[in-house]
Structure 1
Amino acid sequence: MLNIVIFGPPGSGKGTQSEKIIERYGLVHISTGEILRKEIKEDSDLGKIAKSFIDKGELVPDQTIIEILEKKLESLNNVKGVIFDGFPRTVDQAVALKKMLQRHGEDVNVMLNLEVDRQELIARLLKRGQISGRSDDNLETIEKRIRVYEERTFPVIDFYKKEGTYTPIRGVGEINDIFKRISDAIDAVKV
C-alpha cells in the first residue's frame, strides 16, 4: 500500500491537493477535519466535544482523534493506499499512526509538507471563509490556528525527518504546478 501524510498549516492547500492525489493514485482519503465536521453537523457527542475545541482554534485531544482513525482504518479493505490529511498534528499522534499502520504491516511512505508563508495563509483562509461560511475562518481564529500549528504540530516535521520520509513541497503557485511537485515526490517513493 501507498501511505501518504499530507501536512501543512491551515490554508496550505491540503484538501485541494489531496483530491488530486486521490484521483491520480486511487487512494482512500482520511481527513480528520472532514470526519470531525461531519460529527459536528450530526450533533453527535463527539461532534459537540470537537466543536468546543475547534471554535476556540484549539486542537481536538489526541485520544479522540486516534480512536476515530483506528475505527476508520479497520473499516478499510483491499485499498491501494491512504492519504492522511490533517493527521498527525502532534508527535504523539505520529507515533500512534506508526503503531496503527505497523499492526497492519504498513508504514508511512512519504510525508509531504506544503510550505506557504503566513500572509498567504491568512489571505487564503479569509477568502475561504467568505465563500464557505466556515466559522473558523475569521482573522482572530485563523491567527490562533496558525500559532497552534507552529507550536504544536511543527515538531511532527522533525519526527518524519528522523523517519526519513519528510519531503518539503513549495505550496505556492498554480494548483497544477504544486501538484506536479507533489507527484514527483510520490513517484520517487511509490511502492
Structure 2
Amino acid sequence: MRLLIMGPPGAGKGTQAKGIAERYGIPAISTGDIFRANVKNKTPLGLEVDRIMKSGGYVGDDITNQIVADRLAEGDAANGFLLDGYPRTLAQVEALDSVLEGLGQSLDAVICLEADTDEVVARLAKRAEIEGRADDTEEAIRVRQETYVKETAPLLDVYAKRGQLVRVNGLGSVDEVGQRIASALDERG
C-alpha cells in the first residue's frame, strides 16, 4: 500500500497514520517528525526549520522534496509507505510523482481527514499545552490553518480527478476514525 494522509493541521493525521501503518505493515513517514528531530538536535536544517515553524510557515519545497525522496529510497519503503504531512503544494505533488515514477511506483490512495477549523485549533492548543510544543501557539495554529486552505486544499482536487481521494470524517474517537479509514480503503479494494 502506498498512501498519503492529508487534512488540516490537527485533524489527527499523525495519530491515524500509526494505526494505518501498523494495519498494512508499512512505515509511516512524517515530515513533521523528521523536521522536529532536526530541531531537537539543533542541526543546521533544524535551526532553519525551527525559525519557519515558530512563525507558522511551512518549510520550503526544495528541502522537503529532498528529505522525502531520500526517505522513500530506503529499503523499508520499497513495498509501501504512508506519507503524513507531504505533499503540501502543487510543486511537491509533481516532485512526488517524479520520485515515485523513478522508483516504478504509484499511489494507491490519498486519505483526507476532514475536520472543523475551530475543533482542530482547540485540539492543537490542548496538544501544545500537554506536549510543550513551542510551534503551536494559537496564532501560529491559525496561520497554518489558513495556509492549508490556500495552498494544500487545492491538492485534494488533483487527487480527486485522479480517482485516488478517499474522504473520511476526522472527528470522533481514534478508534471510530480508524474504522472509517479501514472501511473506506477496503471499499477501494
Same fold (TM over 0.5): yes
The residue type paired with residue 43 of structure 1 is K
Structure 2: distance between partners of 1:106 and 1:5:
14
Structure 1: distance between partners of 2:170 and 2:85:
16
Structure 2: distance between partners of 1:53 and 1:22:
28
* Deviation string, structure 1 residues 72-130 (Cα, Å, up to 9, x no partner): 11122574310000000111111111111111111111000000001101110111011
Which deviates more, 135-144 or 125-134?
Answer: 135-144
Are the counterparts in 1 of residues 27 and 76 from structure 2 also a CA contact under 8 Å? no
SS of the residue 1:84 aligns to = strand
Structure 1: distance between partners of 2:22 and 2:186:
14
Structure 2 stretches of 5 or more lacking a match?
Answer: none
CA separation of 1:102 and 1:66: change in aligned 2, threshold 3 A: same
Q: Which residues in structure 2 correspond to 1:57-72 (within 5 Å)?
A: 57-72=56-71
Structure 2: distance between partners of 1:44 and 1:80:
30
Structure 2: distance between partners of 1:25 and 1:91:
27
| Offset, 1:23 | 1.4
Are the counterparts in 1 of residues 26 and 77 from structure 2 also a CA contact under 8 Å? no
Corresponding residue of 1:137? 136
Q: Which residues in structure 2 correspond to 1:67-106 (within 5 Å)?
A: 67-77=66-76, 79-106=78-105
Structure 1 stretches of 5 or more lacking a match?
Answer: none
Question: After TM superposition, what 4+ stretches of structure 1 lie above 3 angstroms from structure 2?
Answer: 77-80
Structure 1: distance between partners of 2:132 and 2:77:
37
* Deviation string, structure 1 residues 129-148 (Cα, Å, up to 9, x no partner): 11001012221111111011
Question: What's the Cα RMSD here?
Answer: 1.2
Tell whether 2:32 aligns with 1:33: yes
The residue type paired with residue 111 of structure 1 is V
| Offset, 1:162 | 1.7
CA separation of 1:23 and 1:78: change in aligned 2, threshold 3 A: closer
CA separation of 1:78 and 1:116: change in aligned 2, threshold 3 A: closer
